[in-house]
Structure 1
């Protein structure tokens, strides 16, 4: 346990907390480009990177740096104007922080059967769950420590832009025009290169990859017809193309003792579509629907091993912790093995 704690602490320090590089998304660049230059630094959306970005030599500014408004005369087109800004501008605190352009080429289951029976299946599942829990703690520690929200910057804070064509250019925040923002794929800013006032975190943002674990109770029917509650667990990995919905793969493990005090073990491997249409502050309500395969192994009672398709569905409630973490409750219904099963689980989702 001490080794695990040390590894997790190292992960957090090396990846999340020590990083001074922050990403500005393309949508935020486009919004800022349509804001008055002297007001652009008041409320900027920034996302802390996992590692330091190699974007060129530092070009720091200070609170006393004068705001310079560059003429918005488009003589050569957006690309030539960006090149002119980068090669002829000086705005840093030492008066010689000229930018640079670097052009780069190019554009852009297995657990379905346990030979040893239900008892061995349960043992293997516990080992898998333990490994998955360690991974969840590590991922949650990193993502929870990263700042994803808003910061106040100096209008002349250097912004390192990367274009959709792979080209790179650096210019002050106040100089970004709509054409340059449209060209850019994203931008990087360093908190060490100017005044930096960290403001509030952004609300929960699901867009991107998702990892989650849940535990609770579920109903399982024995081969002798008796139905009773037992342990229910789920591991999930998925992707949300938009904040409101995503596609998630699930591994379900459940077990209980049967009438002869032997193990009944249930496993399911499904793909589900999740959606969260209701948002009320930090509380969000949605549901899921999907399907896959289900496998059951039961010791001590003849006829207890079976496999079938599985149809799943249910409701979900999430409570935001921060931009990347959410406490999640699931109430589900499953149709498999010609029977109906229910489950109620609670856990943590990381985005």
Structure 2
């Protein structure tokens, strides 16, 4: 049976496309995820996937549906009307769950117990149109000198810049952790539901409706802008297999490791380094990112900083199960300054070119653990400054 629910305003429709894939919504989405971003029990299904499903026999429609978990910050649809379990024995190939729902036995054979189950409310009486299978849901060149001393003014300036860099690192890590815990952790892949599971439809004119999956037709989808299923309705929901790593779309990457600063007289200062990047993957294997690396340290007697800002291209041509391998190349401008005990006093800018190797371990469909080895080439630098320095980092990439 089909059931109309309520009208939705135009502003409510504006949020329904997957926001992480839309360029105009990247920064608002980051802020939203840091403040609320909890994952919910509603799963969005693309229009193309639903058009495929309605071409299959009704009794087979619930076995394999590609869906993406939604955030609870998005407006939830009206719940499907409550449903009382039917009397009698289940048909062949079905079993009765402990909550009285008829479910295809192969779901238990292949997937075990459902990931979600509807609330057990046997006393609830359905209101409005009845939908079988549904249950109520609660609502340039650097300039430098080789002098070993430094002025307190120079050290004070470096310390002030380093304080700012600490703030940038804290904010960058916070954004990364927030995205990893939300966008990176949300489920994307195959789900299984009862063949008569209620399907929530949003229509382009603002109307919402609910149609049982095995009663859905192509005509029902002709005016639809969004489709979703709830794991807490019907007989529940099985998460039957997450999709492989999918980089296509925007990416935020962050990490930490060991970085290198090339100094006059052939010296190299090694220390903790941090990396942050934001960019776009037009395909699953190739991406372009704006990239920054920060290396800094200071105390009462010495201090330094080294900040790089540039562009980078990443390519992952090789995959070994969950391990993905590839190279990267990039370049940009660096800013650095040093002063104090054991350091030459220097300050300036220089271009750099970077290249190296990437290894990424697939954690979820949109999250990877990454290791980078980087070689930096410093062209047009002072003759007494090394032309090549290396670094490494470990971090996370959210897609």
Question: Quick check: TM above 0.5?
Answer: yes
Which of 329, 341, 351 is matched with 2:389 structurally?
A: 341
1:329: Cα distance to partner? 0.3
DSSP 3-state at the match of 2:162: helix
1:150-198: CA deviation from partner (whole Å, max 9, x where unpaired): 2211222222345689876643333455677687554211122212223
Any stretches of 5+ residues in structure 1 without a counterpart? 1-10, 66-89, 96-113
Residues 185, 366 of structure 2: 8 Å contact kept:
no
Query: Rg: which structure is higher?
Result: 2
1:84-127: CA deviation from partner (whole Å, max 9, x where unpaired): xxxxxx771299xxxxxxxxxxxxxxxxxx99543433332222
Any stretches of 5+ residues in structure 2 without a counterpart? 1-32, 86-100, 104-128, 135-153, 382-386
1:22: Cα distance to partner? 0.9
Residues 276, 286 of structure 1: 8 Å contact kept:
yes
1:108-187 aligned at under 5 Å gives the runs 116-143=156-183, 145-162=185-202, 170-176=210-216, 186-187=226-227
Give the distance between the partners of 1:209 and 1:296, measured in 2 at CA: 30
1:194-248: CA deviation from partner (whole Å, max 9, x where unpaired): 1222323222222333222111112321123213433221012223333222222
Q: TM-score, normalised by structure 1?
A: 0.71
Which of 363, 386, 391 is matched with 1:321 structurally?
A: 363
Greater relative contact order (CA < 8 Å, ≥ 6 in sequence) = 2
Which of 80, 91, 99 is matched with 1:58 structurally?
A: 80
1:66-96: CA deviation from partner (whole Å, max 9, x where unpaired): xxxxxxxxxxxxxxxxxxxxxxxx771299x
Give the distance between the partners of 2:266 and 2:35, measured in 1 at CA: 53
Give the distance between the partners of 1:251 and 1:316, measured in 2 at CA: 17
Provide the residue aligned with 1:310 in structure 2.
Answer: 352
1:41: Cα distance to partner? 0.8
1:311: Cα distance to partner? 2.4
Give the distance between the partners of 1:127 and 1:94, measured in 2 at CA: 52
Q: TM-score, normalised by structure 2?
A: 0.63
Give the distance between the partners of 1:161 and 1:243, measured in 2 at CA: 30
Q: C-alpha root-mean-square deviation of aligned residues, in Å? A: 3.6
1:218 aligned onto 2:239: no
Give the distance between the partners of 1:308 and 1:164, measured in 2 at CA: 54
